[in-house]
Each structure stands twice: as C-alpha cells, then as structure tokens.
Chain A
Amino acid sequence: MIAQAETVLSIDQVAVHFGGLIAISDMTFSVCAGEIIGLIGPNGAGKTTAFNVITGFLKQTSGDVRYRSKLLNGMKPYEIAKLGLARTFQRTSVFQERTVFQNVLTGLHCRGRSKLWDTLLQTGRETSSERELVDAAHEILRFVGLEQRAYEQAGTLPYGEQRLIGVALALAVKPSMLLLDEPVSGMNPSETARFVKLVGKIRDSGVTILLVEHDMPMVMEVCDRIVVLNYGRIIAEGTPAEIQSNPEVIRAYLGQGKKRA
C-alpha cells in the first residue's frame, strides 16, 4: 500500500541550529498519503524539533517543508493547522480549566461559521453553527472514547485520558495528516492497546499519520515505514523489519536502554 501513493509531506534538506547546537543537521524524507510513518531516535535526536518545524512553531535554519506541494516555510502555526496538518504535543497539553467537551469545542474553532456580529446579535447563523459544533464535538468524543468524561474538567483527568484529549483536539481540526508526539507515553499497557486501535481507526478514516514514539513494540506494530534519527541526522529508513535488523540502528538506539521517563 506504500507503493506510488501521492506524497503529502516532504521535508527537504531541513536543518535547525540553536546557536551552536545543531538539533537537525540535514533531514530529507517524505510521507505518502494514507501511510503511518514512525519517526524514532534517542532522546534529543531532534524529533520534536522536526515536528515544530513542520507545524510552524519553529523556523528552520535552512531547507524546505512542503505539504501537498505547498511550501510551508514562514507560515504561522494556525495557518498550517487550517491546511489540515494537525499535531499533538509531547508534553501533555490540554485547556486545563475547561471541561473535556469545551476543549473539543475549542478545537473545532475553524469549523465554526459564525462571525462576530452573529455572536453579538445572536443571529440564526450563530445558533445553527454552534449546534453543528456541539454535534461534531460529541462525535469526536465518541470516536476517541471520552464520551463518559465530557463534562469533567480536563486538567483533573488521569494522564492517559488527557493524552486522548490532545488527540481529540487535533482531530477536531479535521486533519488530512496528523503528527503524534509520543502519544502513549504515560499510558498503561491496556490504554496503549486501545490507543493502537484508535490509530488504526484514524488511518482508516483517511488520515496520514507521522508518529514519534519511544514504545518500540507499539511503533513496530502500527507503522508501515520508519525513519530513524540520531543526532539530528537520518541514519536509516525502511519497514519495521528492516529497521529492527539494521546494525547502525541497533547500535545507536535499540541496543541501549531505550526508555526515558
């Protein structure tokens, strides 16, 4: 299924320097429509930095990022999100003080049709738009399995469920591509198993996925292809089986203690 599908995301010779520190030295890879690609590598390899560059949170020092052949260089994060390129964050990230439902409703921002005047005058468009968003929010909560938690305050939920809120928020953008930064860190094995199913469901709904994760069994299970990063450089790329048997990868990453808190 990887074969000659359309390229959705292409990273071309991207480098990121923080002063003297080279977080990414020269990164080139691309993601095809419908794929689940894993991006792995030891701590500090530059995975999150790559995510930040792709989604506009960070400016690369050089190189190009293209999404559906549109050049993303210099675009703001919210503009990139509107293109249908959504992400989650490595550090658990929710709107703490709001309920789970309000979180998702906030995430649905771009789907709303009401203008400021509609809001102030409470026009028909305001009410119909809000009703659509409320329905969509319930649907997303059902999809990720947080329906029971809808009216609880997001910040008070267990870690694993907060990560699901993060995914729900990203899905609210109605993405055609989703970047997940260590989504199962902090989840217990049964939560992880359920999450793997969710990832499959998301892919089946037509979303391309780029996954950063330290949980190797999970990565090997869900990914079609894996890109391995070490010290800001891509050292290997291939199917899970190829990666598992690649000597350089084993030396750089799989061999050493792989887990970090």
Chain B
Amino acid sequence: MSRFLPWLFVALLTSVPLWLNDFYVLHVMITTGIFIIAAMSLNLLLGFTGQLSLGHVAFFGIGAYTSALVSLGFEVHLLPDFTVGLAPKPVWFAMLCAIVVAGLTGYAIGKLSFRVRGAYFVIVSISFAEVVRLVALNWVELTQGPMALNNIPALVLGADAFELSFLRKPAVYLLVLATAVACYVIIARLVNSRAGRAMIALRENESLAMSVGIDVTHYLVVATVVSAGIAGMAGALYTHYIRIVDPDIFLFIYTVTMVIMVITGGKGTLAGPIVGGALFGFVPEALRAMAIEPEVQWIIYGVLMVAVVYFLPRGIVPAIEHYMSGRKRSPAPAASEASQK
C-alpha cells in the first residue's frame, strides 16, 4: 500500500493543470517546485553526507547563467585580439550544459573540501557563492551585469507538428514536476545504495567509515557533483521559466531559504525537502494573498520557522515517522535497508 502512495501523490500532482485554472497559483507551484528540487539537492549534501554548504545557491545560479548564456549565445573579448564566442544553441542542450558546468563546479568544491571540513568548509562555500555573484555582477560583457540577461528563450522540444513548447505555465509545471520526480528517484537510489551508505557513514562517524575501508573523500565528491548537477538543473529550469536572470540569483538569502526548507522538513530524509519546500514555498505566498502587511508576513514566517525547529528539532518528516512507528510498533523491515522512504 505505502509503496503506491508516492505514485498516487505524483498522479494527483500531474492532474493539477487539468482542473486548476488559476495561473497565479500555478506560478507559485512552479517556483516552489523549482525550489524543492534545489532543496533536495542540498539535502543530499547536508542531510546525507552531513556537510553544510552555505554556498549552495552558487550551483543553482551557475546553472541558470550557463543555460541562459548557451541558449542566447555570447561573445567575450578576453584579450585585445582574442575573442571567445558561442552561437545560440537549443535550450535542451543549454540545460544539459547547465548540469555539466554546475557538476564540474561541484567537483572542484568537493575536491577542495578534502582539505577543509567543518567550519572552514562553510566559510569557503559562502565565499565561493559571493565570488560567483561578483563575477556575474562585474563581467558585464558576458553577463550584462546588473542589466540582467533578458529574452531568454523557453524550452522547445521536437519540431514542426511534434513541437512541444514549454512557454505556457501548465507545460512548465509538468516539466518541473517530471524533473522533480526524476531527481527524487536519483537521490533515493543513491542514498539507499552502497554509495549512499558510505555518504551516511561520513556524516555519522568519519573515522569509523575510514576504518572499514571507505574512501570518504571520494563519496563526498560524488555527492557534491550529483548535488551540484541537480541544483544546476533547477537553476536552468528557473531561467527558462522566468526568462531573465540577474546577479541577485546568487543572494545568500536563497541558500538560507533552501537550508530552512531542508531542516524544517527533515534533513537526511527523502521526503523532508519536499515537505519543507512546500511549506516555505506556499506560506509566504498565502500570507501575501491574504494581503497582510509585509512586516507581519515576515514575522509570521519567522515565528513559523522557529516553532517548527523548536517543537520538531529533527524536522517534520522524522516527527511524523516517529509518531507513526509509535502507533503501530512495526515489525522489522525484511531485506531492505531503506529507512528513508
């Protein structure tokens, strides 16, 4: 029964464009969905390997800029007589580039964190996001700086009679949903495997992990690459939906939002970022819709966050799981070692 529940949930979400005609709500669902994907990617690092990356938005922003630039084309003069340029490419290709470039950045950061763990890693990751933001702001020839990259094309798949355009909201919504499901499956398979156990071992006890032959650094790099690639994909979805990108995409507040989503939902659980992401994606919009003063909105938002963390320190999903397992002392799960589902 509980095996089909997630798919029932997905089916329900898929049906949304059929009966929901409110485009504003659909817009909120799209942006929330994109943030949930980003939060899921952060959770792979924060929740499973236990490393706090406070520069996570950098991967998101790099994905957004890469996809925008590849789809728009660019030309930069690196030296007086040396230019690098790229003709506009199809959006699907640009999105793949976004995943690859973000993943490569993740690789570099993962390798770096081999030397710097803990507090240093937090500082390095924040600085990294800030550096990327300054580059986006000041390398005007490439990024248009604060003028932003405009008229970013929407995703179009196929051609002629079989053309599938992701310009309208219902189509974008389904694209985001499909991506979210794919990312969920990737992360679920990863964390319930040998590689995932190695990542969790790094979180739980690094020395013990090494003592049983686990190359923890290797798995940290794997986690960072996958996490960065997924965040890059989220960024690409965002750019081709909003169709404008400026350096504000790298603001620290977005990382904080992702961290809040992961922590309140329950870090280290697969459903956590979805629950937390939905909560903190919809609540601000709901408050705005109720036409409450902005100051009051922020106060309610803050109180809600503190309340969740105070009363459910491990997050909403673990609290629910705990409640459920207390009600029916479940028999041991047979062969499956999957505790997060």
- Interface residues of chain A, those whose CB is within 8 Å of chain B, are 55, 57, 76-78, 81-82, 86-87, 89, 93-99, 101-102, 105-107, 109-110, 112, 114, 116, 119-120, 122, 126, 129-131, 133-134, 150-151, 169-170, 172-173
Contacts and interface: CB of A to CB of B under 8 A. Distances in A.
8 contacts: A78-B210, A78-B211, A96-B205, A98-B204, A99-B337, A112-B194, A120-B190, A172-B212
B212 A173 contact: yes
A57 B194 contact: no
B194 A95 contact: no
A102 B189 CA distance: 16
B204 A95 contact: yes
4 smallest beta-carbon distances between A and B, as pairs: A81-B213, A151-B332, A119-B193, A77-B210
Contacts, number: 102
Nearest to A88: B211
Question: How big is the B interface, by class?
Answer: 20 to 34
Interface in B198-244: 198, 200-201, 204-205, 207-216, 222
A99 B339 contact: yes
B194 A133 contact: yes
Given A95-B204, A98-B339, A105-B337, A119 B211 contact: no
A85 B328 CA distance: 43
Contacts of A170: 211-212
Contact of A109 (B212, B222, B335, B337): B212
B212 A169 contact: yes
Contacts of B194: 109, 112, 114, 119, 129-130, 133
B124 interface: no
A227 to B, nearest CB: 22
Given A76-B210, A126-B193, A94 B205 contact: yes
Given A109-B201, A170-B212, A173-B212, 5 more contacts: A78-B211, A82-B213, A89-B207, A99-B339, A172-B212
B305 interface: no
Contacts of B216: 78
A55 B211 CA distance: 8
Contacts of B215: 76, 78
Interface in B141-170: none
A119 to B, nearest CB: 4
B197 interface: yes
Nearest to A172: B212
B195 interface: yes
A106 B197 contact: yes
A89 B205 CA distance: 12
B16 interface: no
Contacts of A151: 332-333
Contacts of B196: 119
B110 to A, nearest CB: 14
Tell me which of B196, B213, B215 has the highest count of chain A C-beta atoms within 10 A of its own C-beta: B213
A75 to B, nearest CB: 11
B269 to A, nearest CB: 12
A96 B193 CA distance: 19
A101 B337 contact: yes
B112 interface: no
Interface string B178-190: 0000000010011
A89 B197 contact: no
B111 to A, nearest CB: 16
A120 B189 contact: yes
A116 B195 contact: yes
Contact of A81 (B193, B197, B210): B210
A57 B209 CA distance: 12
Nearest to A152: B332
Tell me which of A109, A130, A169 has the highest count of chain B C-beta atoms within 10 A of its own C-beta: A109
A88 to B, nearest CB: 8
Contacts of B195: 116, 119
Nearest to B198: A109
